[in-house]
Structure 1
């Protein structure tokens, strides 16, 4: 259609110029003459729409209904697989955790010891068999105390204790144990059965006379090594085959007596390498075991020693009956079946041995066992402290 050339303004002006038209009829007459048509809705439309809607919903749901069981089965299978994977992962993690815990437990034990859930640290009757027990005394890193370390040596050649002692001192692991390097000795040790003594021959350039602390430790260690492993009474010195040894603090020495050192109390010494303490005898000697036990309840900070009884073993009183130490605990005492309590009990056993006793009996134990020890019975004192395996 061709676009009109008239503008709105021109049309409006044209309409104004046209003559007016007026209808004189009444409005009611006009309304009455209008044709009114009433259309009845068709009856089939509503049911038809409902049917169409139902069919539409049906066709929408059919695929889901058909997939539903399969979907549920697949979903259940996936959930089952997920659960199984979770269980396997948990089992694997548990196994790894157990292995780590086992490794950690082994790392906490001292090197070469019998690795059980709870550890005895000393050597007892029935553990030696046909072997021989040797004890070496080793200084701590500060050279303040001497730590006894014991081992069982199996030998089929029936050699003497001193031959085995000389042979195995090179196998000591002082640094690994957190102690000071001291062995092997720069000396030759030989038995003199005729004079019931040990011959100690040193080279001309030996280091044991360099300072009072060094020579004192050398003499003390020799005395303790020999007294712990034999009943010999003398050390006879020579230098490069010539009688005697020159020591600044002792002067010229040809012979030193050996005395069995007893009546000490055992304390804990914790080295940097191990969580389980060494059991170490005191420097001080005690008049009786009651005084020793009382001191074992306290630390000895100047020597780096810790109480071996508290808090693990709260002892009230001790007494002696024949060769047995009778121990009563405090009334409200509670014992734990754990490593610290075993260590505390062994310190008591070793202290009893120092005073010539053979057994220990607790009259009122709150539990029956701590580790391998049956507290309802008397327990024998150990043969030697601080076991380490060398072979």
Structure 2
């Protein structure tokens, strides 16, 4: 194209000299004409686009639909198999959760009449160990300090054993498997000592290394002595412990001085309270630090909290209790007039606290009369219930 010989300025002046042209149409008419043009364009384009899209989808999907008609049974089989795998995985997960939370084993559920494919809900968890749970295993109880170091929490487990393994061998082997921090407690095990039974089988020898930590602070050394005492009394009938350091008699414990030996005392007559670790809705059942002269005083104390120790009163879900008596190592309770008893986790835990308290006072069974409900979780309140073997079941193997 030939380049224009007119400059921009010359073109501008030429246009200004041209006569003015006016459009006398109404602006609304102009807008309507423009709108009609746009609508006409769209009305022609949209059907065309839709037809093209439909044809494209038809050619893409027809082969797949024909393949699907031939393989629908195969797909159904794959879905069924996948659902089965998911169900199996969920059952395994629930089984693991149940053991970690202390729920009854599948054997116990079968014995209690629970369908095998039904998982016990959190509202019906038993947290203690009962005679039916033990089987051919061995019950071990470890006492673990709470995070503040104020109280000791008993945690029990059932371990497999052979005929020639002693309780102390199993105790030493399994203490490293405890999950204290996972349970919301102090990381205290394994103990930094060597424990063995003397030849007379009446004394435990506890030998500490030269660099042991148990003399560092009054709380640490008090917990060490109390853990040794409670662990041995809970797992055996041995009545004495002798201490040594690197094979030499005695252990230096600061406030206790050089400790040569202690007598093992199985102190009883406690009431059981709730201790809730951070983030847990299911409490540990924990004995009081106070010793009560009779079970009625223990039960009365269990109605209120002991906030200074982080303990919650455990009997509130069972109240009111109208009568308590003891007959032939059996605790007899009456719930006459109680209209608030509920079948939930809190009440199940409260009943277990009561069972453990009865055990601590040397009783073997608990009988409930006049209960507004007949079944409390896994407990049949129309029958006598045996006290637990040990509190706070946790799986470590």
When normalised by structure 1's length, the TM-score is 0.71
Question: What whole-Å deviation, never above 9, does each CA across 1:214-250 have from its counterpart, x for those lacking one?
Answer: 1111000000000000011001000000011111111
Distance 1:103 1:317, change over 3 A: farther
Q: CA deviation at 1:312?
A: 4.1
Q: SS at the partner of 1:319?
A: strand
Question: What whole-Å deviation, never above 9, does each CA across 1:39-72 have from its counterpart, x for those lacking one?
Answer: xxxxxxxxxxxxxxxxxxxxxxxxxxxxxxxxxx
Counterpart in the other structure of 1:148: 154
Question: Structure 1 residues 243-252 or 196-205, which shifts more?
Answer: 243-252
Q: Distance in 2 between matches of 1:294 and 1:112?
A: 28
Q: Distance in 2 between matches of 1:273 and 1:236?
A: 39
Q: Distance in 2 between matches of 1:257 and 1:325?
A: 31
Unaligned runs of 5+ in 1: 1-94
Number of positions where the alignment pairs a residue of Structure 1 with one of Structure 2: 294
Distance 1:334 1:107, change over 3 A: farther
Counterpart in the other structure of 1:358: 364
State whether residues 317 and 346 of structure 2, in contact with CA within 8 Å, keep that contact through their aligned partners in structure 1: no
Distance 1:376 1:112, change over 3 A: closer
Q: Distance in 2 between matches of 1:364 and 1:172?
A: 41
Counterpart in the other structure of 2:325: 319
Q: 2:102 aligns with which of 113, 117, 133?
A: 113
Q: CA deviation at 1:334?
A: 2.8
Counterpart in the other structure of 2:17: none
State whether residues 102 and 128 of structure 2, in contact with CA within 8 Å, keep that contact through their aligned partners in structure 1: no
Indicate the structure with greater helix content. 2
Q: Aligned pair 1:128/2:134, yes or no?
A: yes
Counterpart in the other structure of 1:56: none
Q: SS at the partner of 2:370?
A: coil
State whether residues 338 and 371 of structure 2, in contact with CA within 8 Å, keep that contact through their aligned partners in structure 1: no
Q: 1:344 aligns with which of 347, 350, 355?
A: 350
Q: 1:381 aligns with which of 371, 384, 387?
A: 387
Q: Aligned pair 1:190/2:196, yes or no?
A: yes
Question: Structure 1 residues 184-193 or 101-110, which shifts more?
Answer: 101-110
Q: SS at the partner of 1:286?
A: coil
State whether residues 336 and 371 of structure 2, in contact with CA within 8 Å, keep that contact through their aligned partners in structure 1: no
State whether residues 313 and 344 of structure 1, in contact with CA within 8 Å, keep that contact through their aligned partners in structure 2: no
Counterpart in the other structure of 2:303: 297
State whether residues 110 and 177 of structure 1, in contact with CA within 8 Å, keep that contact through their aligned partners in structure 2: no
Q: Distance in 2 between matches of 1:291 and 1:112?
A: 31
Q: Distance in 1 between matches of 2:101 and 2:162?
A: 22
State whether residues 101 and 127 of structure 2, in contact with CA within 8 Å, keep that contact through their aligned partners in structure 1: no
Q: Distance in 2 between matches of 1:332 and 1:358?
A: 25
Unaligned runs of 5+ in 2: 1-82, 105-119
Q: Distance in 2 between matches of 1:213 and 1:330?
A: 45
Q: SS at the partner of 1:260?
A: coil
State whether residues 109 and 275 of structure 1, in contact with CA within 8 Å, keep that contact through their aligned partners in structure 2: no
Q: Distance in 2 between matches of 1:107 and 1:344?
A: 24
Q: CA deviation at 1:317?
A: 2.4
Aligned-residue Cα RMSD (Å) equals 2.3
Q: 1:265 aligns with which of 255, 263, 271?
A: 271
Q: Distance in 2 between matches of 1:215 and 1:308?
A: 30
Question: Structure 1 residues 204-213 or 322-331, which shifts more?
Answer: 322-331
Counterpart in the other structure of 1:286: 292
Q: CA deviation at 1:336?
A: 1.4
State whether residues 320 and 338 of structure 2, in contact with CA within 8 Å, keep that contact through their aligned partners in structure 1: no
State whether residues 110 and 276 of structure 1, in contact with CA within 8 Å, keep that contact through their aligned partners in structure 2: no
Question: What whole-Å deviation, never above 9, does each CA across 1:272-291 have from its counterpart, x for those lacking one?
Answer: 14210000000000000000
Q: 2:283 aligns with which of 277, 280, 299?
A: 277
**The structure with more radius of gyration:** 1
Q: Aligned pair 1:253/2:259, yes or no?
A: yes
Distance 1:150 1:299, change over 3 A: same
